[in-house]
Amino acid sequence: MKITFLGTGTSQGVPIINCDCPVCKSLDFRDKRLRCSVHIEVNGKSIVIDTGPDFRQQVLRESIHQLDAILLTHEHKDHIAGLDDVRGYNFSLNKNIPIYARQRVIDRLKVEFPYAFAEDYAGRPRIDTIPISNQAFLFEDLEIVPIDGMHGGMPCFGFRIENFTYITDMNELPEKEWDKIAGSKVLVLNALHHKDHYSHFTLKEALDLAKKLSIPKTYFVHMSHHMGLHGQVDSGLPMGIHLAYDGLKIEI
C-alpha cells in the first residue's frame, strides 16, 4: 500500500494570501501546504480522500493517472471544492467515479454542484454517490472502515483502509471508535496550531491522542501557518510522530 499526501494545509492553505509571516515567507518546500487530501494505492486500486480546491493541481503534480473511488470526510469547501475536476478522469478513463460519503454530505453536493446531478448536461462531472453510515463497507473487494468523530459539532468521517487510518477535521474522537484504529501501522491526525480551536485538535491535543492510540507512526495534517516552521516544529516532536508535508510518500 502506498500513501501520498496530496495536501496538508488548513482551509486557506499555506502561504496565506497577503500574509508575510515567517512561515508564509519560508523557502522550505515543506512550508507550502495545499488543502488536505491523501492518495491511497492499494490492491491495484487508486483512491483519494477528499477533493479540495487544489485537487487538479495535486493529481497533476503526483501524476495520478488512475482514479477508482473518492471518499469524502465532510462537506466543508476545502474538502469538496475540486470535485468538478473528476471530469478529467471521466473523459480519459471513460467511467463514472464512485463517491462514498454520508447522506448529509451527498445532499450538500447536490446544492454545491447541482449540474453534476442533471442528466441532460453533457459537461457534468460523472459521479455515482454512494451513501455510507458508520459501518465498514466494501469498495469492490477492499474493506473500508469509517471512523466517526466530531468537527465543531458536525459529524465527520475518518477512514481506515488495511493498516492506514486517516483522520482529518476533528476536535473530538469518541473512545468507542478507538478499537477501529487499534493495530494500524500509520495514523494521520489533524493538528491545526497551538491555540484552542472549536473544530480542530490543537498540536497538544493531537499529541495526547496520538500517545493514547499509540500507533507506531503518526503524521499530523491540516496545519495553519500559526503552527510554525515545519523544520522547527517537526524536530521537536516525540519519536514516531511527524508533521506531514505535501508530496510525502509512505509505504505500508
Residues binding Zn ion (CB under 5 A): 16, 19, 21, 24, 76, 78, 169, 225
Secondary structure of the chain in HEC code, one letter for each residue: CEEEEEECECCCCECCCCCCCCCCCCCCHHHCECECEEEEEECCEEEEECCCCCHHHHHHHCCCCCCCEEECCCCCHHHHCCHHHHHHHHHHHCCCEEEEECHHHHHHHHHHCHHHHCCCCCCCCCEEEEECCCCCEEECCEEEEEEEEEECCEEEEEEEECCEEECCCCCECCHHHHHHHCCCCEEEEECCCCCCCCCCCCHHHHHHHHHHHCCCEEEEECECHHHCCHHHHHHCCCCCEEECCCCCEEEC
**Which lies closer to Zn ion via its Cβ, residue 17 or residue 138?**
17
**Cα angle for residues 140, 142, 144 (degrees, 5° grid):** 115
**Which lies closer to Zn ion via its Cβ, residue 1 or residue 154?**
154
**Which lies closer to Zn ion via its Cβ, residue 71 or residue 90?**
71
User: Residue 114 is placed in which grid cell?
Assistant: 447541482
Give me the least distance between CB of 193 and Zn ion, in Å please: 11
Give me the least distance between CB of 40 and Zn ion, in Å please: 18
Give the other-Cβ count within 10 Å of 143's Cβ: 11
Give me the least distance between CB of 82 and Zn ion, in Å please: 13
Give me the least distance between CB of 182 and Zn ion, in Å please: 25
**Which lies closer to Zn ion via its Cβ, residue 19 or residue 136?**
19
**Which lies closer to Zn ion via its Cβ, residue 73 or residue 90?**
73
Give me the least distance between CB of 69 and Zn ion, in Å please: 20
Establish how many alpha carbons lie within 13 A of residue 36's alpha carbon, considering only the half-sphere containing its beta carbon. Answer: 32
Give me the least distance between CB of 148 and Zn ion, in Å please: 15
**Which lies closer to Zn ion via its Cβ, residue 90 or residue 227?**
227
Give me the least distance between CB of 121 and Zn ion, in Å please: 28
**Which lies closer to Zn ion via its Cβ, residue 85 or residue 169?**
169
